[in-house]
Amino acid sequence: MGGGGRADGRGGQCRACGGPAGGRGRHHGAAASGKCGGPDRRACPLAGRDRYFHHAGLSFPHGRCADHQFSPAAFDLVYAGRGFLRATDDAGRLCACDCGGVPLLFLWGWQPAFSDGCNMTRGKDDQDQTTTEAEPAGRAGAFGFSCLARDGAARSGVITTPRGQIRTPAFMPVGTAGTVKAMLPGTVRALGADILLGNTYHLMLRPSAERVARLGGLHNFMNWPHPILTDSGGYQVMSLSELRQMSEEGVTFRSHVDGAKHHLTPERSVDIQLLLGSDIVMVLDECTPFPATHAVAESSLALSMRWAARCKTAFADAPGHALFGIVQGGVYPDLRARSAAQLQEIGFHGYAVGGLAVGEGQQAMFDTLDATVPHLPQDKPRYLMGVGKPADLLGAVMRGIDMFDCVLPTRSGRTGQAFTSQGVLNLRNARHAEDQSPLDPAIDCPASRDYSRAYLHHLVKSKEILGAMLLSWHNLAYYQHLMAEMRSAIAAGALSALAARLHAGWAENSR
């Protein structure tokens, strides 16, 4: 029978590496912790992997298609009507469609029953390979990027992960501590978000990566079964922590939560992100301060590149995960080009542009992107970290960026600001006190169309929780609407026309 091992809660061996199965009373490495408990967990394909199954008598119920993920080490064979086939491809995927099928794997024969229309992923000799990007050895199909349309430097496409597809350009709502503030995960998904960002620094301090892993991983913990990208924690260490001491080895700091001392290295950062179950892992880097001299930026860049290489070694091509490098170099074109080249020599699944939106101003940011993006590979996704305002997103997309994250939509919502097609509205202002118009009727969201500006003004002035909830909801809806508009415009070759219309609308409120 595929997936052997003890299910009596008294141990058993991990089939992937020979170490003990982690957890209690679950099938093999499908233990309560969902991961291998062996001594060399990083080298084991089951290490830190959450599982979407539990022991339930004679069956293992599963969720929707996006959740059909099993380790080849845990489930070797299934019967799919044409003889025994491997349960997964190397990506750990079972079902590759959006049919919503719900399989039941029965103990006797591991026979899956799928709803009508489910398109099973066969073995490699049995299926069409449509991934347009060559993957590192051992991860074919696990992570890929397909460019579907171009308009100048801008491009729209799809990032493929084992947990689902990400339409690009994409905006990632920020779930700092395992939650997008004031929002339910299902509501965030309904707005059009394909991926969230989790914060390594905050989660490592509270509740801890190890606890999240024991509870089934971040996806299970926060009830978000779709892709998650986690940052490395480096930026927060530099900006939030006290008594920092940085060395070649890593960063020692004291927690802003309880003052406890922590040591974050490239290896530990990767390990934390894998314990969380992140789909896209970011390397640990030093965010170059602004302003910085060329010499300071060059020294910071060199350290970040050494740390990037260590992160790649620690990552060890973990099955089901992707690793992104981060381009640094301040506002200096020669350093940005050098960083991009060195990262490509190391080799990553995607490339982020870091060290921007730190006070340099929009034009300097755009100039730096103009000097950086041409040095990044065409067949990999590009991620601009921590950006930003709607005009920043538009300008960066027009320069070839695919992914963004920023706390601005929810943070601004909590302080009474709304992003609209007519610019930014400050709901604290008295001019909204008797305004019965909605925030933005063009946005298909109840918060945008069903509540008057007067009511929202009242909620904000009264410091009612509902005000922060509705404005956060609206702002995230507006950001996802903006990304959808840009994807459609790129496909139609009309991004310049969209940009002109957007800028005209944003300027309207400032007259």
Q: Report the sign of the C-alpha dihedral through residues 276, 188, 484, 95, in that order.
A: positive
Cis peptide before 39 (omega within 30 of 0): no
- The helix (H) or strand (E) run that includes residue 149 is strand 144-151
HEC assignment per residue over 21-33: ECCCCCCCCCCCC
For strands 144-151 and 154-161, give the pairing: antiparallel
Q: How many residues does the chain have?
A: 511
Residue pair 342/305 in contact (Cβ under 8 Å)? The answer is yes
Q: How far apart are CA 358 and CA 16, in angstroms?
A: 44
Q: How far apart are CA 351 and CA 365, in angstroms?
A: 17
Please choose, from the candidates 502, 472, 507, the residue with its C-alpha nearest in 3D space to the C-alpha of residue 484: 502
Q: How far apart are CA 277 and CA 156, in angstroms?
A: 27
What's the gap between Cα 124 and its chain centre? 27
3-state SS class at 109: coil
Please choose, from the candidates 17, 6, 3, the residue with its C-alpha nearest in 3D space to the C-alpha of residue 316: 17
> Tokens representing 54?
């539990």
Quote the longest CA-to-CA distance of the chain.
Answer: 72
What are the backbone angles phi and psi of residue 213, rounded to the nearest 5°?
-65, -45
Tell me which residue has tokens 């141990």. Answer: 11
DSSP per position, 40-101: TGGGSTTTT---S---BTTEEE--SGGG-B--TTT--EEE-SSSEEES--TT-BSB-S-S--
Residue pair 208/265 in contact (Cβ under 8 Å)? The answer is no
What are the backbone angles phi and psi of residue 108, rounded to the nearest 5°?
-80, 100
What's the gap between Cα 480 and its chain centre? 15
What's the gap between Cα 455 and its chain centre? 34
Burial of 111 (0-12, 13-18, 19+ CB in 10 A): middle
Helix ranges (DSSP H) in 357-464: 362-372, 390-397, 408-414, 446-449, 453-461
Burial of 259 (0-12, 13-18, 19+ CB in 10 A): exposed
Annotated active-site positions, please?
Answer: 231, 405
Tell me which residue has tokens 């202002």. Answer: 429
> Tokens representing 172?
């990632």
Sequence-ordered strand ranges (E) for 371-487: 382-384, 403-405, 417-420, 423-426
